[in-house]
Chains A and B, each alone.
Chain A
Amino acid sequence: MTIRNALRDHGQRYRPRMACLKKAEKVLLEMQDPCTGVKSQPQRLVITIIPHAITGEDIIAWLADRFQIDAQEARSFGSMLVALGYIYPLQDHKRLVIKPDASLYRFQTPYFWPTQQWPVEDTDYAIYLAKRNIRKKGILELHEQEQYNHLHKWMNHKWDFVVMQAKEQYRAAKERKKPDRVVFDCQERAYWVVHRPPPGTVSAMDYGLDRRTDPNTDEVTGESPHDLLVKYSATYSGHDPFLSKCLPSNPWLTDDTTYWALNIVEIPTKMRVERWTFSFKELLSDPRGRDDFRLFLKKEFSGENLAFWEGCEDLKWGTAVAMREKAEQIYKTFLARGAPRWINIDGKTMEITVKGLKHPHRYVLDAAQTHIYMLMKKDSYGRYLKSPVFKETLKKAICPEEHKFKNRRPSLSPIIIRQQEQEQRAKMAANAPVDITQVMSKLSKQGKEMGPRHSK
């Protein structure tokens, strides 16, 4: 079962798999085991005693023992755990390293562990900064202050909520016992030091770019991303002009733009037609393919499906002003009883759509569009690929000849070309009739401009 985070995750980007997180969690659970883990001691503050503090040297010793590594490596490993946010220092909280002495650390609560699935929200950061400001006005550091102002500007519409939520969280915290309150504050502070590091520090959370595909399994087919990627690469590698030869030739390599010109004309190339067979989406997204498909559907007298689909796309991507009219037009043409191009969708979808059309918005026809899309994909697409229309197109498709590198000479590097030009100019100047006064004035000007530098 997948919890659909896509909507909350704006832009559908996925943080790359940080496999180390899962492994670090396992190590941490071992470390905190009361019997076999790191020895804990109570931390003495002014009036309170808070349990479960561990010293840096104990952590390093335990890691060295557990993994049979030397102290230096254990220290780096420990620092990595701190940098990721699984352990936080109690003193000198901004430096996320393990010190091999009696400095105290504590385990971070699982709620604040770094995760791959959920991005660290700016709203939470704003609430945290507001809370700190409640506790002590003017405590925010410079970079935090700047961030706070920045968030106030772009998250302005939520600001009442942010302030209110900060107050409520603060009040809820008051309900807790004093030591717990201190611990929670330390935990939260440590969390934000990891995820919003002060400027000039290196963050362990820097993972590079976000990815477009989900590092976890594909929801629909249950295939792992590796299989999907391999399949995709195998299918498309022949069609990628940079990975394999493209016919007639890659314009970037040969300066011959026939490749681009060929795909504008009526008759498509064989490679392009082959692409239409990969998936229905490919067929529809290529205008030439869509035209072909439309022709086929016309022959089958089921052109209204494609027309309806195109109408829905138009509604989705069109201007807001024209939305209402378009929706009405589509209803009159395709959905109403006795409509001229009535489409065949099931009763439930029809009911939902008609109800939604009372208050039309961009996505009101989504259900019906999906239904028709699947209908075309499962039924018409298969028949299209076997149809005479497609076979005709395939036969007519041209296979351009490969570019013959006849007069191939390597072009000169721009540096050499520039040197050649300069030599040419110098020669011209040398051959021209010499005017002493001009030459002298030019030389003196050159001398003044260039200063200590030598003239060429």
Chain B
Amino acid sequence: MPLVNNKVGDDCTASGDKALADGKALVDSLIKVVACYRHLASCVGGCTDSLQLRDELRQTREKAQNLAGDICHHLTSHLRDKSLPDGQRKEMELLWVAFSSCLELLHVDMCKVLNISGIVSLADSASLVHTGLEGCSDVAARALSLPDLNQAQTDSLPSGLESQERSTMELEISQIDRMIDDMEMKVNVLRWMVEPHGPQYADPLSSTDSVSMAVQSIDEEQQAPTSQPLCQRSHIFVLLLL
């Protein structure tokens, strides 16, 4: 850890806290966008693949990249600032680790989408794999924080669109690549020194859909019928009769 200048005044800590809060908010939204991107990417090549899906992917990707650029600047400038107090530096490093993991996930997802669009072409709609899905436009809405998306339907695929899309994607992927490289070069975060705050297990979220629970449990255990799931504040009990 670099030496810290401990002459920290009140405004310094206050502005540092604000910077921390800003960074945290940015990273949280990036995590959300990356999660949504993953859901969208899982539909590519399947029967729900369409121009609209590709459009949503593109928009989500753009948002993710903008966020990533912002976070990169924000965190890099703060972590290279030698006068950052120790506690705040630790928090920043946590955010840094989360950010770099996010970028890696995004990078892999983007590569996979590029790869799949090479194998299964949108133009040939018979080759889209019948996966049993019906569509996931609301996910994109969540990612872009819009109440609902403009559901514009395009009938035919413009001829040059796919190759153009591919080249754009390749550019974007190499951009993310470079960003990850730059990050590693500029700021030296010792990952083994970073300690997380959170719990080992993600707590069950309170508002769960009891109906979908029943559907999923039955799908899982075909031989064992389930009894009614009880929905309490934060606990869900499903009794299996074997």
Contact = CB atoms under 8 A, between A and B. Distances in A.
B126 interface: yes
A162 to B, nearest CB: 8
Given A160-B196, A361-B185, A178 B204 contact: no
Nearest to B36: A172
Given A160-B98, A182-B219, 18 more contacts: A3-B174, A34-B126, A47-B215, A50-B132, A51-B132, A109-B43, A112-B42, A117-B111, A137-B235, A161-B101, A164-B31, A165-B101, A168-B32, A171-B142, A175-B136, A176-B136, A183-B132, A184-B42
Interface stretch (B6-14, B62-70, B114-122, B151-159): B114-122
A168 B219 contact: no
A233 B43 CA distance: 45
Contacts of B126: 33-35
Interface of B: 28, 31-32, 34-36, 38-39, 41-47, 80, 94, 97-98, 101-102, 104-105, 107-108, 111-112, 114-116, 119-120, 126-127, 129-136, 138-139, 141-143, 170, 173-174, 177, 180-181, 185-186, 188, 191-192, 194-205, 208-209, 211-216, 218-220, 222, 235-236, 238
Most buried by A among B35, B44, B180, B194: B35
Contacts of B142: 171-172, 175
Given A7-B180, A45-B215, A46-B214, A137 B201 contact: yes
Contacts of B174: 3-4
A164 B105 CA distance: 13
Interface in A106-122: 106-112, 115, 117-118, 121
A121 B79 CA distance: 28
A27 to B, nearest CB: 12
Contacts of A123: 101, 104-105
Interface in A225-253: none
Interface residues of A, number: 83
Interface of A: 1, 3-5, 7-8, 25, 28-29, 32-35, 40, 43, 45-48, 50-53, 90-93, 106-112, 115, 117-118, 121, 123-124, 130-131, 133-137, 149, 152, 156-161, 163-187, 359, 361, 363
Contacts of B198: 159-160, 163-164
B195 A184 contact: no
Contacts of B135: 177, 180
Nearest to A123: B101
B185 A152 contact: no
Contacts of B209: 174, 178
A8 B134 contact: no
Contacts of B219: 45, 90, 182, 186
Contacts of A133: 201-202, 204
A70 to B, nearest CB: 27
B129 A3 contact: no
B76 to A, nearest CB: 12
A94 to B, nearest CB: 11
A170 B139 CA distance: 11
Contact of A3 (B138, B177, B205): B177
Contacts of A185: 216
A105 to B, nearest CB: 11
Given A45-B215, A46-B214, A177-B135, A169 B177 contact: no
A178 B120 contact: no
Contacts of B116: 110-111
Contact of A165 (B31, B120, B143): B31
A7 to B, nearest CB: 7
A183 B104 contact: no
Given A3-B174, A163-B199, A40 B130 contact: yes
Given A3-B177, A7-B181, A174-B209, A159 B200 contact: yes
B38 to A, nearest CB: 6
A353 to B, nearest CB: 13
B31 A118 contact: no
B115 to A, nearest CB: 7
A51 B212 CA distance: 17
Contacts of B180: 7-8
A318 to B, nearest CB: 16
Q: Give the interface centre of A51, A93, A124 by most chain B CB atoms within 10 Å.
A: A51
A106 B39 contact: no
B218 A118 contact: no
B203 A180 contact: no
Nearest to B199: A163
Contact of B215 (A25, A35, A169, A182): A182
A176 B138 contact: yes
A211 to B, nearest CB: 20
A108 B131 contact: yes
A43 B129 CA distance: 17
B199 to A, nearest CB: 7
A111 B94 contact: no
Contacts of B36: 168, 172
A161 B34 CA distance: 12
A159 B134 contact: no
B111 A5 contact: yes
B133 A134 contact: no
Given A33-B126, A168-B31, A135 B42 contact: no
7 contacts: A51-B130, A110-B46, A171-B142, A177-B136, A178-B209, A178-B212, A363-B185
Contact of A361 (B138, B139, B188, B208): B188
Contacts of A25: 119
A111 B112 contact: yes
A177 B31 contact: no
Contacts of A90: 219
